[in-house]
Amino acid sequence: MIEAKNLTKIFKDKKRGEVRAVDDVSFTCKKGEVFGLLGPNGAGKTTTLRLLSTAIRPTSGTALIEGADIVKEPQKVRHVTGFLSGNTGLYGRLTAREMVEYFGKLYGMNKGQIVQRTNQIFDMLDMNEFADSRNEKLSTGMKQKVSIARSVLHDPPVMIFDEPTSGLDVMSSRTIVQFIRQCRDDNKCLIFSTHIMSEAMRLCDRIAIIHKGKIYFEGTVDEALEQTAYDNLEDAFIEIVGV
């Protein structure tokens, strides 16, 4: 479903020169699997996910999403992918429902499909209470749910989430975690970034640990613990990246 092949992204900075935000990154993510991309802020998580979503182009390397090449076939990739960025970017004067319906039209869905799918997602994410409230009036957690709803309205087989629970309260975070599990049960391929190790332990089937743009580990949480002889992922992470 997702196969990253030697992805590299180099940015040019006036002060620092060339910055390798992503450096020769390769991994796979399969159907019915939650794959966690773990690392601290600035590790390259967001840049990697933006590359996969075709928001930016790699300097070298590529990835296949449902068999479509992110460099050669970006439109096909976008058709089969739902991407949640770290910035909600909602239009404040639209309601939650209007925002989601607008994206349904962008996806080429007809009115009946939009209504049916919107109702389904609003039930799953517990959004009905604020469905007709303007986005500018919503809490952080509510806005995050709207962002997720618009990202997955077209029912894509691949979902890419950038820190979906960051800054949320316990109840909002719990709802989103349950939604991610439901997507896995529906045989979706889901990759998300996080720096919350406890979240990765309870949610991810496999993980990749990224630091300074490089992949230091790929496998299950149990394999990471076994490799480092620790009983928690936070200590195992520190051991693996050597900081």
Do 70 and 94 belong together in one domain? no
Give, rounded to a whole angstrom, the gap between the first and last alpha carbons of the chain: 32
Give the end of a domain, one of 136, 155, 174.
Answer: 155
Kindly state the average pLDDT of the residues 155-171.
89
pLDDT band at 243 (very low <50, low <70, confident <90, very high): low
Angle, helices 96-106/111-124, rounded to nearest 10 degrees = 130
Residue 23 lies in a domain: no
In a domain, 24, yes or no: no
Domain end residue (candidates: 135, 155, 175):
155
Strand order in the sheet with 68-69: 17-29, 2-13, 60-65, 68-69
For residues 120-132, give the mean pLDDT.
94
117 and 231 share one domain: no
pTM for the whole structure: 0.90
Domain span including residue 99: 87-155
pLDDT (mean) for 31-37: 95
Region 161-182: mean pLDDT is 87
Reported as a single tens digit per residue, the pLDDT across 218-241 is 999 999 999 999 988 999 999 998
pLDDT band at 88 (very low <50, low <70, confident <90, very high): low
Provide, rounded to the nearest whole percent, the portion of the chain with pLDDT above 70. Answer: 99
Q: Using 50, 70 and 90 to split pLDDT, how confident is the model at 168?
A: confident
- What is the 3-class SS of the chain, one letter each residue? CEEEEEEEEEEEECCCEEEEEEEEEEEEECCCEEEEEECCCCCCHHHHHHHHCCCCCCCEEEEEECCEECCCCHHHHHHCEEEECCCCCCCCCCEHHHHHHHHHHHCCCCHHHHHHHHHHHHHHCCCHHHCCCEHHHCCHHHHHHHHHHHHHCCCCCEEEEECCCCCCCHHHHHHHHHHHHHHHHCCCEEEEEECCHHHHHHHCCEEEEEECCEEEEEECHHHHHHHHCCCCHHHHHHHHHCC
Has residue 111 got a pLDDT over 80?
A: yes
pLDDT digit string, tens, across residues 61-76: 999 999 999 999 999 9
CA-nearest of 218, 186, 195 to 4 is 218
- Among residues 134, 155, 176, the one where a domain terminates is 155
pLDDT attached to residue 32: 94
Residue 217 has pLDDT above 90, yes or no: yes
pLDDT exceeds cutoff 80 at 128: yes
10 φ, ψ to 5°? Answer: -115, 125
User: Is 192 found in the same domain as 117?
Assistant: no
Instruction: State whether 73 and 183 are in the same domain.
Output: yes
Query: In this structure, what CATH number is given to the domain that contains residue 225?
Result: 3.40.50.300
